[in-house]
Amino acid sequence: MTITIGDRIPSVTLTKVTADGPDQISSDDYFAGRKVAVFSVPGAYTPTCSARHLPGYVDKIDALKAKGVDEIACTAVNDAFVLKAWSKDSGADAITMLADGSADFVTALGLTMDASKFGMGTRGQRFSMLVNDGVVEQLNVEAPGEFKVSAAEYLLDEI
């Protein structure tokens, strides 16, 4: 079942990328007591993710925070070391990277996709959401092959 607006984020373990290395954190703890804009990319270093998706959120950090967002997080079915390198290479230090290496988070959300034809296996769909104290307030899931509703500009307009 796919998560919907008004649902609580499922309880899973994520790996938060930090300067000191990977840090295991429960989704319950991560989302508690604050407003987080989360976006999911199919993979670090992939074309649309690197050229448009991540840079859009980097460009809109201040605008999102002006609308009450406490933190902006990117999640991908990649390991924490790949996400750390991608963040550094992309100048995205202000974006929290949440590694979902085994696809536990996107599976619990019901937002997986099969990217086997590209040699990537199970990945997260491209989406954005606004989570307030663990509850989904806004959810934007892309149609396959598209990049519109998960963009930073779209989420910003929805808040």
Condensed to tens digits (0 to 9), the pLDDT of residues 45-80 reads 776 666 678 999 999 999 999 999 999 999 999 899
Order of strands, edge to edge, in the sheet holding 135-141?
A: 21-26, 13-18, 96-99, 71-76, 35-41, 127-132, 135-141
Tell me, yes or no, whether 140 lies in a domain.
Answer: yes
Q: What percent of the chain has pLDDT over 90?
A: 73
Query: Which residue is listed with tokens 């086997």?
Result: 116
Single out the catalytic residue among 38, 49, 76, 130. 49
Condensed to tens digits (0 to 9), the pLDDT of residues 115-153 reads 666 656 566 888 999 999 999 999 999 988 888 999 999
| Enclosing domain of residue 43 | 13-158
Let me know: does 100 contact 106? Beta carbons within 8 Å.
yes
Question: What is the per-residue pLDDT for 47?
Answer: 64
Tokens of 95: 């974006």
Tell me, yes or no, whether 82 lies in a domain.
Answer: yes
Condensed to tens digits (0 to 9), the pLDDT of residues 2-38 reads 999 999 999 999 999 998 999 999 999 999 999 999 9
Tell me, yes or no, whether 4 lies in a domain.
Answer: no
**pLDDT-based confidence at residue 112 (cuts at 50, 70, 90):** confident
Tell me, yes or no, whether 2 lies in a domain.
Answer: no
Q: Which residue has the higher pLDDT, 140 or 42?
A: 140
Tell me, yes or no, whether 3 lies in a domain.
Answer: no
Tell me, yes or no, whether 5 lies in a domain.
Answer: no
Question: What is the per-residue pLDDT for 1?
Answer: 65
Question: What is the per-residue pLDDT for 58?
Answer: 96
* Interstrand relation of 71-76 and 35-41 (parallel, antiparallel or unpaired): parallel
- Measured CA to CA, the distance from residue 109 to residue 152 in angstroms comes to 20
Question: What is the per-residue pLDDT for 74?
Answer: 96
Q: Where are the alpha helices (DSSP H) in the chain?
A: 27-31, 47-48, 54-59, 61-66, 80-90, 104-109, 152-158
Find the CATH number of the domain harbouring 111.
3.40.30.10
Tell me, yes or no, whether 31 lies in a domain.
Answer: yes
Tell me, yes or no, whether 84 lies in a domain.
Answer: yes
DSSP characters for 19-63? TTEEEEEEHHHHHTTSEEEEEEES-TT-HHIIIIIHHHHHHTHHH
In this predicted structure, the answer to whether residue 113 has a pLDDT above a threshold of 70 is: no
How many structural domains does the chain have?
A: 1
SS3 (DSSP) at 65: helix
Question: What is the per-residue pLDDT for 111?
Answer: 92
pTM: 0.92
Active site residue 74: no
